[in-house]
Amino acid sequence: MMKQLSISAALLVCTAAQAAGVSPKNLVGGWHCETRAEIAQGETETVYRADGTFQAKELVRIKAADGSEWAYAIEGDGTWSLNKQKLTETPQQASIERRYSDETSAALAASPELQAEETALFALLQQAVQDHTPQTYTVTRLDKQHFDVEQSDFRSRCVRK
């Protein structure tokens, strides 16, 4: 469960990357990112502004033990800075809500055990969303149209919008 929290929190704040020797101004603008981790996937739309602020919207999908997909919409904003290959994002406010298919809702309604597991995960995700701790990511690529982030438990590939 903690790994899910770590990955989901990373998905929430990890939406961009920068390579060594590239100016922070190259990150400014809109990006569409796809993030992959062992148990989760995410798609994020992020805008990095020249004043050091960002705004992000993400849909995170997590595979449940029964094979169903739990989906969460996360929106937030904050500040960012770039130092060499390190992108640091500091969330200032964020929100999360469930986005389930009818099939997932039915599976949750039919299984008290699955419902308890999802409720516990959602509580952890809410806590992560409310945590305003700066998150730092290693940028592996940044050019005019692409940037990538790779960490030990996930990777994000982004294209300019």
d(CA 30, CA 15): 11
Report pLDDT for 65: 82
d(CA 63, CA 78): 28
Report pLDDT for 22: 57
Report pLDDT for 4: 46
Report pLDDT for 150: 84
Domain of 71? Answer: 2-160
For the record, the structure tokens of 84 come out as 């060499």
Report pLDDT for 7: 46
Q: To which H or E segment does residue 130 belong?
A: helix 112-130
Report pLDDT for 64: 87
φ, ψ dihedrals at 160, nearest 5°: -70, 140
Select from 113, 111, 110, 115 the least CA-distant residue to 98.
115
Four-CA torsion 95, 43, 108, 153, nearest 10 degrees: -100
Model confidence pTM above 0.85: no
Q: Where are the alpha helices (DSSP H) in 30-101?
A: none
pLDDT below 70 — which residues of the chain? 1-22
Report pLDDT for 12: 43
- Domain of 151, CATH number, reads 2.40.128.280
Could you give the number of structural domains in the chain? 1
Report pLDDT for 25: 84
